[in-house]
Structure 1
Amino acid sequence: MIKNIIFDFGDIFINLDKQVVHRELEKYGGIPELSPEILALNDTYEVGGISSEEFIEKLGEVFPESTSKEITRIWNSMLLDFPDERLHFIETLAKEGDYRLFLLSNTNALHIPHVETIMGSEKFNRFKNAFEKFYLSHEIKLRKPDAEIFEFVLGENGLKAEETFFIDDTKANTEAAEKLGIRSWHLQVGKEDIVELKSRL
C-alpha cells in the first residue's frame, strides 16, 4: 500500500525548455550540445559544490563573449510556466491527507529564486506548503540518480521503500529509485501529466 509520494519538480510541475541553454549559448560561441566539462560543472553546482558566482564565472571563461547577466538570464530561461491546475492538484492532494508528500529536485541556487519570480511569492509558498519536506539538491548536497539521495529521504522521514511512490521525467532517476524498491512513474513529458497521478497509484 502506497503511503508516501515523492515528486520531481521540473517538467512535473513547472514546464521546462531544456534545449534553450544550448540554443542561447551557441550565440556566444557554444556548440549545440553542452560539453562534458559544462555538464560536470552543472552537476557540481547542483550539489552546492560551488557558489552561483563561481558557476557564472566558470561559464564566462567558456563563453567569453557573454556577460554574467547574460549567462544568468540564459541559465534561467529554461524555466517556463507553472500551470494553475498542477498547483490545485497538489494542494487538493495535500488537503485530502491520504499520503505523505515530498518534493525532491535536482536544482540550483539560481533557479529557485527565479521560480518564485515566475510563480509569484504567494503561489510559490502555497506550492511549497503542500509538501511535508521540500528537498533541493543544492541544499542537501546530493543529487539524483545517486542512490544516496533516495536513501537520505527514506531514512530522514522513516519511510519504507515499498510504501513509497516516486515520479520523475528522467528515466535514470526512476530506475535508480526502483532498484531500492520504490515504485516509480517515468512521466512522459507532453504525453502525460501529473494531474493523472491517481490513475497510476
Structure 2
Amino acid sequence: MTKEEYILNIVFDLGGVVFNWQPDEIIKSVFSDIRTRQVVKNEIFGHSDWVELDKGTLTLEQAIDRGAIRTRLPRSDISNLMKAVPGFLTPIHESIDLLHFIKTTTDNNLFVLSNMHFASIAYLEKEYSIWELFDGIVISCRVQKVKPDIDIFQHLLGKYSLLATETVFIDDTDVNLLAAASLGINTVKFENVTQCRESLSELKCI
C-alpha cells in the first residue's frame, strides 16, 4: 500500500459482524421437528424470496403467504418464524466495542453496508444506539439493491464520494467480499473480533 493509498473509510456489514445472525436458532425457536427445520431452512432462508425481502421488493406478508405454500406448513407458524427474526439479531458486544474504539481513537469514517429486511433494520434502529457512530448507512431494502450485486457497492461509493482504494469492507461472506474487491475495495473477512482487529491493524487503519 503506497502513501497515497491509505485507508480512510471502514465499512461494516451488520448480520454476522455487528449483530449475531444464527438462522438455525431462529428456526429451532418455532419448529421442533428436525425434518421440518431443514425444509424451513431451505424454503425460507435459502429461497430467493429472502433476497427479495432484503431487496425491499417483497412485503413481509407476501413472503409469509408464499413461504406457507412452499413448505405446506401453517401460515401462523411461518408468520411466527418471520416475526421472530429481528429479536434474534443480538449485538456482538466485542464488535460494538471495536466500533467505539475506531470512532474515538482514529480519524477514519465508519459506514454500514448490509442486506436486511425492513422489519429487522427498523427493530435494530429502535433498540440500539450505535447509529450515531456511523458517517453513512446503506441498507439493501431501502435502496432496492443487494450484495453481492456490484450496484450496491457502487451506490455506497457514489453516495458518500468514497474512493475504493481508501475503503475497507468487512463482511463474513466470501461472495460479498469478492464483489467488493472487484471494484478495488480492500476487504477483511470477519471470523471473530480479535482476527478483525488484527486485519485492520495490518492495513494500518487502527
Shorter-normalised TM range: 0.7 to 0.9
Q: Structure 1: how far apart are the matches of 2:94 and 2:191?
A: 18
Equivalent residue in structure 1 for 2:108, among 96, 99, 103? 99
**Structure 1 segments unaligned to the other structure (5+ residues):** none
State how 1:1-201 maps to structure 2 within 5 Å.
1-21=6-26, 23=28, 24=30, 27=33, 29=36, 31-32=38-39, 33-35=41-43, 39-63=47-71, 64-67=73-76, 69-76=79-86, 78-79=88-89, 81-116=90-125, 120=127, 124-125=128-129, 127-189=130-192, 192=194, 194-196=196-198, 198-201=200-203
The more displaced of 173-182 and 59-68 is: 59-68
The more displaced of 67-76 and 82-91 is: 67-76
TM-score after normalising by structure 1: 0.81
Letter in 1 for 2:11: I
Q: Structure 2: how far apart are the matches of 1:76 and 1:159?
A: 30
The equivalent residue for 2:3 is none
- Aligned-residue offset at 1:112: 2.1
Q: Structure 2: how far apart are the matches of 1:12 and 1:38?
A: 20
Q: Structure 1: how far apart are the matches of 2:16 and 2:82?
A: 20
- Aligned-residue offset at 1:155: 1.1
Letter in 1 for 2:113: L
* Contact residue 174 and residue 184 of structure 1 kept, 8 A: yes
Q: Structure 1: how far apart are the matches of 2:31 and 2:75?
A: 9
* Contact residue 56 and residue 71 of structure 1 kept, 8 A: no
- Aligned-residue offset at 1:174: 0.5
* Contact residue 27 and residue 81 of structure 2 kept, 8 A: no
Letter in 2 for 1:166: F
How many aligned positions are there? Answer: 193
What percent identity do the matched residue pairs reach?
A: 24
* Contact residue 44 and residue 67 of structure 2 kept, 8 A: no
Give the structure with the higher percent helix.
2
* Contact residue 107 and residue 136 of structure 1 kept, 8 A: yes
**Structure 2 segments unaligned to the other structure (5+ residues):** 1-5
Q: Deviations over 1:45-67 (max 9, x none)?
A: 11100122222222232343240
Q: Structure 2: how far apart are the matches of 1:51 and 1:165?
A: 32
Q: CA RMSD in A?
A: 2.7
- Aligned-residue offset at 1:196: 4.3
Q: Structure 2: how far apart are the matches of 1:92 and 1:37?
A: 33
